[in-house]
Amino acid sequence: KGCEWRGLAWSRDYEGFLCSLLLPAAARRSSLALRAFNVELAQVKDSVSQKTAGLMRMQFWKNAVEDIFRDGPPAQPVATELWRAVKKHGLTKRWLMRIIAEREKDMEDKAYRSLQELESYSENTQSSLLYLLLECLGVRDIQADHAASHVGKAQGIVTCLRATPYHSRRRKVYLPMDICMLHGASQEDFIRGSGEQRVRDVVYDVASQAHVHLQHARSFGKNVPATATPAFLYTVALEDYLQRVRKVHFDAFHPSLQKRNPLLPVHLYLRSWRTTF
């Protein structure tokens, strides 16, 4: 069973899995449990053909979290591990529930109306996960929370960009409508996998906002306790994607972006020795 939930984190969140392995031993297992929980929720939308089935799955997780905080988790591998993490670190229930609520809202399966809406979604999912990760590291610090808010927003934006080719093949487009309209890019342009300038301009604007959030996060860097920096290892993967998309002139469909960077584990390992992010 242990292999099952760890395997879930590894197969569906490779970079997050690597980051978890580089955390201090006391937080490692709990971090993997949180990532597996996040993956469980994230894959609901893609794994069910009917919205009702997805909503039932979300309800299972709402009940599971309630039961975890009553000390009676359901007999499900990820839920059991999450219970162990909650007990060990005194994790905040609100963050777990916020992730579920936002993922449930996302079952509507529509494009984000605006960049602001994508940022809000990212705050409620990725930033919430980072707040929990900070708790696993024993960090309760307002500056670290500010940094986590921006890193989470950057992560959500980059995830949306990276998934664009995958979604386009399924005739779905989630990139913010306001940015698409600004550049005159249609949903059909993305579904075709077009490399036209207007499509690249959309990708440039969205990627730039992720970069801005990373810069904002770093502006809190010198005030963030050193014990918090392992929570922000994921910034290495975000920088890696943003650099690679820049090299291909913001063509989100370029084949090189579909491959993993074989040096990423090395870059993560080297960054893990630094007390900055």
Task: Indicate if the pLDDT at residue 210 is higher than 90.
Answer: yes
SS3 of the chain: helix, strand, coil, percent, to 5: 75, 0, 25
Residue 161 has which token pair?
């960009």
Task: Please write down the HEC assignment for all residues of 216-273.
Answer: HHHHCHHHCCHHHHHHHCCHHHHHHHHHHHHHCCCCCCCHHHHCCCCCHHHHHHHHHC
State whether CATH 1.10.600.10 applies to domain 111-277: yes
* pLDDT of 9: 53
Contact 122, 155 (CB under 8 A): yes
* pLDDT of 107: 86
Residue 274 has which token pair?
């630094």
Q: Where are the domains of the chain?
A: 1-109, 111-277
* pLDDT of 187: 93
Helix (H, G, I), strand (E, B) or coil at 48: coil
DSSP state for residue 125 in the 8-state scheme:
I
Task: Indicate if the pLDDT at residue 100 is higher than 60.
Answer: yes
Per-chain mean pLDDT for the chain: 93
Tokens 């000390």 -> residue = 71
Query: Which pLDDT band, with edges at 50, 70 and 90, does 12 fall under?
Result: confident
pLDDT digits (tens, 9 = 90+) for 22-50: 999 999 999 999 999 999 999 998 777 78
Task: Count the Cβ atoms, other than its own, within 10 Å of residue 217.
Answer: 23
| Max Cα-Cα span within the chain | 55
Residue 254 has which token pair?
């370029």
Task: Indicate if the pLDDT at residue 88 is higher than 60.
Answer: yes
Contact 24, 137 (CB under 8 A): yes
Task: Indicate if the pLDDT at residue 91 is higher than 80.
Answer: yes
* pLDDT of 48: 77
Written as one letter, the residue type at 190 is: F
Task: Count Cα atoms within 13 angstroms, Cβ side, for 224.
Answer: 26
Rounded-to-integer distance, Cα 257 and Cα 15, Å: 15
Helix (H, G, I), strand (E, B) or coil at 129: helix
Mean pLDDT score, 129-158: 98
Rounded-to-integer distance, Cα 232 and Cα 157, Å: 16
Backbone angles phi, psi at 67, to 5 degrees: -65, -35
Candidates 239, 240, 252; CA nearest to 166 is: 252
